[in-house]
Amino acid sequence: MNFFSIKTSHQESIKSLLRGTSIMEFKQLSWHRTEVKLGDFVFLVISGDKSKKEINYENGLRALSEVVTLPLDDGSKHFKIKVKILELFEESISRDDFYKFPELKNAPSIGPITTNEPNQSFRKIDNQQAIAILKATKKILNKSEFPSKIEILLDSKSIIELISNDETKANTKKEIKYSTKIMDFWRDCSSSNIIYSESLVKRFISSLISKNFLLLTGLSGSGKTKLALAFGKWISSYKQSKFALLKKAIQNEIFLENYKIVSLDRDFLQIINLKGSTGKIIPIPVKGIFEWFDLLKNGEIDINGDPKEIRHEVGERSIYQKHIHGFYTEFFKVASLMMRESTELKTGNFILIPVGADWTNREPLLGYPNALNENEYIKPENGALDLLIEANDNPDLPYFLILDEMNLSHVERYFADFLSAMESGEEIFLHNYKTPKSGIPSKINIPKNLFIIGTVNIDETTHMFSPKVLDRANTIEFRITPNEMTKFFNELGEINMENLESKGAGMAKSFLDMALDTNVPTEGIDDVKEQLGKFFVELKKVGAEFGYRSATEILKLIDRLGKIDPDLEIDEKLDIAVIQKLLPKLHGSRRKLVPVLTSLANLCLKDSIKSEIENTNIENKVFEVDSEKIKYPLSFEKLSRMHRAAVENGFASFAEA
């Protein structure tokens, strides 16, 4: 599908459109004739000089339509097409209405103009920008939904397909460079007296870049939370949050002496000049303030300069039209106060939140609208929602939400919205008001640059995870071997977490690029597919088989392990995939589990033990083999422990105390 815009000032056509005509014909078009196909999408923009208008209307985007006839000759150099109106707006959406959406800058005939625009009535729009126009239009009009033909385009799968088509046509597919330097994290941990095995850290990083939801389970006190915190500190840039700086700057006494704050959200700061005579609200775009701040911070404009003169330089570089910077006094004052505050505020890209046993709904993570005050949204004090907003605002940085003792409450009760949004790509609904409340939008995404790490302990106060939670995550079990304990005693020293701060900040972009790589290997994996098929058959016997999603994620994990450590053998990678993605759902009684545990353990051997007589029990033979006969040692050792627990206690589960 292609997207186009038609801009017309033809009065009869505009009258016809506004009367509600369903099929419109547009003539004397001259560009993109060979690219027009039936069903292509057309944005209809009406325009005209005020003195020449025969009826009253505002210039701007007025309707959405689709092509219903192929181009026909309309003179020697022009053509005409007919379109069907899908949606006619009650009012036009002007370029100024779109200026708070920087991604629409120079969108043909629609977005704010920063360059000379061709004088053509028929323009092509790239797929990614077209989707952005539809989303912005929906937001401006506060529409819950468009007609189905338009809503289909906003479906997450359709968006991915359309944008992929753009990239294919432009031949701009990004080649992801995987860097083994990410393992510097392990070396930096060691120098800070934080002791982990190299293989564990390798699994931790590979798991994060293959799936942005990770569970850390196992022995209490084995360093699960510490590892998540250490990585967050190591890779965080500790850049000061510009929005946090802005909030602090406008509370400065100097500012409050001159201005009254009406509202602040992620799009606009609205203020009234107390020294002015009009009392009018001044809407200042937040991203415009950040432009002034960045130029001040980088020394590209003088903090002692004249803002009236500086505005021209800022306007040349701005994502906004120059007239927006007419509020140069306010832009300069706020940006200068942000500079003053910038030396005091320091934040990382992660947050650690202890889960409470009383978490029975989503409010501890997402907050709730105040039923007594329609202008207020109560945010959780733990900062979870702020981190989510921050991650959406900074897609080029990784963010980490660390939920400590995640199973202290039933996960499905407080985390259901996250589980759904992570898989579907749909937004989480927060409130139903047209404008942001307390700076909180009505809906929010779980962005791809947000990584959720949950730590898990098992005792009488905690709850088991359901299969649907385990199915969506990588699960790493922490165990401590005698050799590791000996090493710990020998190298005992004071842990210095501060020593890790920003050590890996230069790897943040590379880490995020690796995590956003959607490529799934399809060649050279015949042996992997064969082995996974065997595990599937055995797991199905106890209802713990895996689906298409898990199969895809297993292939991604195996591939990413190889990218982080090219020396890993295929059996080592498959062993890690089995213990992290296939075994965590296993639990049940001795009668149910022992036969399948035996069969799975048999698959972990280099040469499976076969019954000499049909139906003979091979249980003891399998679990008593010598270590050199084991093909997948991590998985085999786990299955052996589960088998022992099932025999001794009558019940076993992957999760252990």
Q: What is the pLDDT of residues 287-301, one digit of tens each?
A: 899 999 989 888 888
For 3-170, CATH number?
A: 3.10.590
Superfamily of structural domain 180-239+348-358+383-406+425-515: P-loop containing nucleotide triphosphate hydrolases (3.40.50.300)
| Helices first, then strands: H and E counts in the chain | 24, 21
Task: Give the confidence band of 325 by pLDDT, cuts at 50, 70, 90.
Answer: confident
Q: 3-class DSSP state for residue 620?
A: helix
The mean of the pLDDT values for the chain is: 84
What is the model's pLDDT at position 229? 94
For helices 224-235 and 198-210, angle between their N-to-C axes, nearest 10 degrees: 70
- Please state the pTM of the whole predicted model: 0.64
pLDDT at position 159, please? 41
Which amino acid appears at position 374 of this protein?
A: E
Strand pairing class (450-455; 399-404): parallel
Q: Which DSSP letter does residue 299 get?
A: T
Are the C-beta atoms of residues 353 and 403 closer than 8 Å to each other?
Answer: yes
- Distance of alpha carbon 401 from alpha carbon 407, whole angstroms: 15
Mean pLDDT on 600-607: 91
* CA-CA-CA-CA torsion sign (57, 59, 61, 65): positive
Whether 153 has a pLDDT exceeding 80, the answer reads no
CA–CA separation, 363 vs 77, rounded Å?
Answer: 62
Single-letter code of the amino acid located at 496: N
* Banded pLDDT at 392 (limits 50, 70, 90): confident
pLDDT at residue 614 is higher than 60: no
Question: With 70 as the cut, is the pLDDT of residue 11 above it?
Answer: yes
Tokens encoding 226: 């510490």
Q: Return the domain boundaries, the chain.
A: 3-170, 180-239+348-358+383-406+425-515, 242-341, 523-542+556-653
101-105, 281-285, 506-510, 635-639, range with the lowest pLDDT: 101-105
Which residues in 89-107 are b (16+ Cβ under 10 Å) and which e?
beebbbbebbbbbbebbeb
The total number of residues shown for the chain amounts to 657
Dmax over CA atoms of the chain, in Å, equals: 99
Q: What is the pLDDT of residues 104-124, one digit of tens each?
A: 766 777 876 645 556 568 888
Using one digit for the tens of pLDDT, what is the confidence trace for 433-470?
Answer: 766 677 788 889 899 999 999 999 887 778 888 888 99
Half-sphere exposure of 523 (CA within 13 A, CB side): 0
User: 422-431 burial string, b = 16+ CB within 10 Å, else e?
Assistant: beeeeebebb
pLDDT value for 596: 93
pLDDT > 70? residue 344: no
Is 180-239+348-358+383-406+425-515 in the same CATH topology as 3-170?
A: no
For tokens 């790589």, name the residue: 517
Percent of the chain scoring above 70 in pLDDT: 89
Kind of pairing between the strands at 399-404 and 350-354? parallel
Mean pLDDT, rounded, for 302-310:
87
Torsion sign across C-alpha atoms 588, 591, 594, 597: negative
Distance CA 14, CA 47 (A): 9
Which residue, among 262, 457, 242, has the nearest Cα to 342 in the 3D structure? 242
Which range has highest mean pLDDT (159-173, 489-503, 622-636)? 622-636
**CA 234 to CA 228: how far, in whole Å?**
10
Is 70 exceeded by the pLDDT of residue 156?
A: no
Contacts of 590 (CB under 8 A, 6+ apart): 646, 647, 650, 651, 652
Interatomic CA distance for residues 418 and 427, integer angstroms: 10
**What's the rounded Cα separation, in Å, for the pair 219 and 561?**
24
Residue 20 banded pLDDT, cuts 50, 70, 90: confident
pLDDT (tens digit per residue) in 350-378: 999 999 999 999 999 999 998 888 778 89
Residues 83 and 23 sit within 8 Å (Cβ to Cβ):
yes
